[in-house]
Amino acid sequence: MLGLLRRQSAPLATAALLLVSLTLLVTNSRGQQRIDPLGTVFLELVSPIADLGTHVATTLTRTWNAYVDLVGARQEREWLRARVRALEAESDAASAVAQENERLRALLDLRETVAARAVAARITGADASGLFRTATLNKGSRAGISQGFAVISGEGVVGRVVATSPNAARVLLLDDHASGVDALVRRTRARGIVEGGSQAGCRLKYVKRRDDIRVGDKIITSGLDGIYPKSLPIGEIVALGEEEHGLYQTAEIRPAVDFAKLEEVLVVAPPAREVPPSPTETGPIRPEGSP
């Protein structure tokens, strides 16, 4: 019996599968609900895989979108940085132009107050050796500048011209040890000489011992040296000399001009000196009482 079953196993198995298939077909055709055990098993197996694929695709999509947004944000950030730098440069340029206009306006106002002939010039260089306190101007003898002309700014006295060429001039600054300006204390009208080379920048010397000078007093030009116009600011007293004896007293002066930040100046011709009229202009001198 067992031998017969072994020999007929294939036909029997085929017949059994056909019978199951026919039963499923008949049952599915009659009923509203379809019986599909293999489909159910396949669905159970495929559903997690499909969910995993959907999750992976969603994650990849979100990652890609985040990357694209990050690249866009980085590019936008770089553009904004470049724009900020450009705007800062424009603002600095506008501020520099406004400051230059303000300085030139101050020079123009100063030029209108100076009775002598004046030429506006720009500082193009400074002495780099440290031995002398000088500056170079971009105008010279062709512009009418000569040795001995005063150099001033809107803040006060700068120095005097000591050498010229056709298109340049050298200025000895106020705080150089070789400079000298006849000066007055504005409050008391005490007179002295301002020289350069001190720790504060300048020193007021040869002030009479009895004259009243104090820290904070403003020092101005007297106009008596034949170089600088009268009443120009020179500086301010920051310390009094320690000498207790002698005919004169001294004081340390902080210059009114910041020479390190100086850019434009006004070169002024020496004030015209009054010359007595000659006999040819007034006529011959006649004895008193003659017709």
- Res 85: pLDDT: 81
Parts of the chain with a pLDDT under 50: 274-276, 278-291
Same domain, 78 and 173: no
Q: 287: buried, middle or exposed (CB in 10 Å: 19+, 13-18, 0-12)?
A: exposed
Run of H or E including 80: helix 37-113
Judging by DSSP bridges, how do beta strands 168-173 and 157-165 pair with one another? antiparallel
Same domain, 131 and 264: yes
Same domain, 57 and 150: no
Structural domain total, the chain: 2
Using alpha carbons only, give the angle 217, 219, 221 rounded to the nearest 5 degrees. Answer: 160
d(CA 135, CA 123): 7
Domain of residue 207, CATH code: 2.40.10.340
- Res 172: pLDDT: 94
- Res 162: pLDDT: 94
Q: Where in the sequence is the domain holding 233, given as residue range(s)?
A: 118-268
Residue 282 falls inside a structural domain: no
- Res 287: pLDDT: 43
Domain-terminating residue out of 113, 142, 167: 113
Distances (CA, A) of 190 to 15, 176, 221, 228, 262: 139, 23, 11, 18, 29
Same domain, 105 and 123: no
Provide the 3-class DSSP secondary structure of residue 112. Answer: helix
- Res 64: pLDDT: 81
Residue 145 falls inside a structural domain: yes
Same domain, 87 and 183: no
Residues near 119 by beta carbon (within 8 Å), at least 6 away in sequence: 139, 143, 144, 145, 266, 267
Same domain, 84 and 212: no
Residue 56 falls inside a structural domain: yes
Same domain, 106 and 124: no
- The structure tokens listed for 216 are 């904070």
Residues near 139 by beta carbon (within 8 Å), at least 6 away in sequence: 119, 121, 145, 167, 168, 169, 267
- The structure tokens listed for 255 are 């210059």
Same domain, 209 and 126: yes
